[in-house]
Amino acid sequence: MRAIQLVSPSLNSFVAADLPEPSVPGHGQILVAVRAASLNYIDVAVAQGHYPGIAFPLVPVADGAGEILAVGEGVHGLVVGDRVALHPKARWPAGRATAERMAAMRGVSLPGVLVEVIEVDASSAVKAPDHLGWEAIAALPVVATTAWNALEAAHVGPGSTVVVLGTGGTSLTTLQLAKARGARVIVTSSSDDKLARARALGADEGINYRAQPAWDEGVLRLTGGIGADLVLETAGPQTFMRSLAAARQGGTVFTIGFLSGTVAEVDLLPVIVKSLRVQGNNTGSAEDLADALRAIAAHRIEPVVDRVYPSAQVADAYRALAGGGHFGKLAIALT
Ligand SMILES: NC(=O)c1ccc[n+]([C@@H]2O[C@H](COP(=O)([O-])OP(=O)(O)OC[C@H]3O[C@@H](n4cnc5c(N)ncnc54)[C@H](OP(=O)(O)O)[C@@H]3O)[C@@H](O)[C@H]2O)c1
């Protein structure tokens, strides 16, 4: 079967490959015809050699969606023809984080989804909302799971204030799910045009962090000096101290991203004095994704897929995500 492999850590190293096609699913397994994939920043980090411990050649890409072709013994609740989101944490069906559950990730420590047919644990496939097309479904696993866990961690509901940094996939999905919970959402971006698009998506306020580098002061102004219940911290060292400043007393800084690196000098005083909760996260379980997808179905949320690339242009999709000009998600069609 056709597949795409990354043969070395470089955006110039994608090659078409012919791999053996799985034919009969094992116990508890399903075969899925992959229809679409989407990129996350982690895929770019892997392809640029910024993620440790990768064995090449690797079938890349964590997030995918497809149609079930065959169901093995012992599989319940899924049948041939079901449309599923493939959860990238392949061995984390539910429950708390453990080292083993977090380590197994498609496109990182396991083969990814850029293949015609993939065999996966049925417990890592989640039925997709009916209203979504393939690229939209593929856009969800990492970002919807993470956004859901952020909102749950901070108990976000009506009257909460949420700040999301930038207009990448995780931030916009958090915006959409936070609005569905009745929260007020403030978005930061490098671009006024992207802020206008975020407002059209439901954002209540936008702050251009290029024009206003002290965006945390903007958040405090907009919240009457109180600060946000939740700050989704995607950027890392460049923003971390401001995220602490933008959070309210007892608020949550959900620390997920490293867009500007991983090493930060941190003043602990705001964490201590404001009783902040600095909460790390490593995606989450398939059950978390299922919860998020139920909310997405109930509110008929449409994920923001900025552009769909044909599989022959995978490298262009990676370059576009690395360049940061996108709004939301970039998807790859596998037909
Ligand atoms: N740990 C987890 O569970 C988890 C889950 C999901 C994602 N992540 C991480 O979260 C980060 C975002 O992931 P993603 O896939 O959503 O990324 P993405 O789609 O590539 O988002 C990139 C966007 O972030 C904004 N940005 C970049 N540098 C920034 C900075 N210094 N300050 C503020 N905003 C900045 C830009 O938005 P504008 O152009 O609007 O400024 C950029 O377009 C990545 O580091 C990723 O690895 C972690």
CATH of the domain at 69: 3.90.180.10
Q: Kindly indicate the confidence band of residue 147, based on its pLDDT and cuts at 50, 70 and 90.
A: very high
Q: Which domain does 249 fall in, by range?
A: 144-280
Tell me whether residue 288 is in a domain: no
Question: Are 15 and 115 within one domain?
Answer: yes
Check residue 285 and give its pLDDT: 98
Instruction: Assess whether 207 and 94 both reside in one domain.
Output: no
In a domain, 290, yes or no: no
Tell me what the pLDDT averaged over the chain comes to: 97
Of all protein residues, whose CA lies closest to atom 48 belonging to ligand 1? 256
Check pLDDT > 90 for residue 313: yes
**In the predicted model, is pLDDT for residue 233 greater than 90?**
yes
Q: Which of 309, 291, 250 is nearest to 140 (CA)?
A: 291
Using most ligand atoms within 8 A of CB, pick from 40, 89, 330 the residue to mutate for ligand 1.
Answer: 40
Give a yes or no: residue 287 inside a domain. Answer: no
> Does a structural domain hold residue 292?
no
Quickly state the pLDDT bin for 193 (edges 50, 70, 90): very high
Q: Which ligand 1 atom sits nearest the alpha carbon of residue 39?
A: 15
- pLDDT digit string, tens, across residues 6-46: 999 999 999 999 999 999 999 999 999 999 999 999 999 99
- Ligand 1 lined by 166 (C-beta under 6 Å): yes
Say yes or no: 186 and 78 in one domain: no
Whether residue 255 is found in the same domain as residue 177: yes
Residue closest via CA to ligand 1's atom 23 equals: 168
Assign residue 164 the CATH number of its domain. 3.40.50.720
Q: Are residues 118 and 211 in the same domain?
A: no
Residues 121-129: what's their mean pLDDT? Answer: 98
Q: Long-range contacts made by residues 247-252, C-beta under 8 angstroms, separation at least 24?
A: 247/274, 247/276, 248/161, 248/223, 248/274, 249/274, 249/275, 250/274, 250/275, 250/276, 250/277, 251/154, 251/227, 251/276, 251/277, 252/150, 252/153, 252/154, 252/276, 252/277, 252/278, 252/279
189 lines ligand 1 (CB under 6 A): yes
Any domain includes 298: no
Confidence check: pLDDT of 303 > 90: yes
Asked if residue 244 and residue 205 are part of one domain, the reply reads yes
- The sign of the torsion formed by the CA atoms of 168, 57, 141, 312 equals positive
pLDDT tens digits, residue range 46-76? 999 999 899 999 999 999 999 999 999 999 9
Average pLDDT for 120-132: 98
**182 and 197 belong to one structural domain:** yes
Which residue's CA is the closest to the ligand 1 atom numbered 21? 168
- Helix (H) / strand (E) element for 291: namely helix 286-298
Domain shared by 159 and 135, yes or no: no
Domain-embedded: residue 243: yes
Share of the chain above pLDDT 70, in %: 100
Q: Kindly state whether residues 135 and 6 are assigned to the same domain.
A: yes
* Interval 77-116: pLDDT, tens: 999 999 999 999 999 999 999 999 999 999 999 999 999 9
Regarding whether 126 and 168 lie in a shared domain, the answer is: no
**48 and 136 in a common domain:** yes
pLDDT in tens, 168-191: 999 999 999 999 999 999 999 999
What mean pLDDT is predicted for residues 290-308? 98
Q: Say what angle helices 169-180 and 141-153 make with each other, to 10 degrees.
A: 50
pTM of this prediction exceeds 0.75: yes
Give me ligand 1 centre to Cα 38, in Å.
15
Residue 335: per-residue pLDDT: 74
Answer yes or no: is 13 within a domain.
yes
Query: How many structural domains does the chain have?
Result: 2
Q: Is residue 200 part of a domain?
A: yes
65 and 37 in one domain? yes
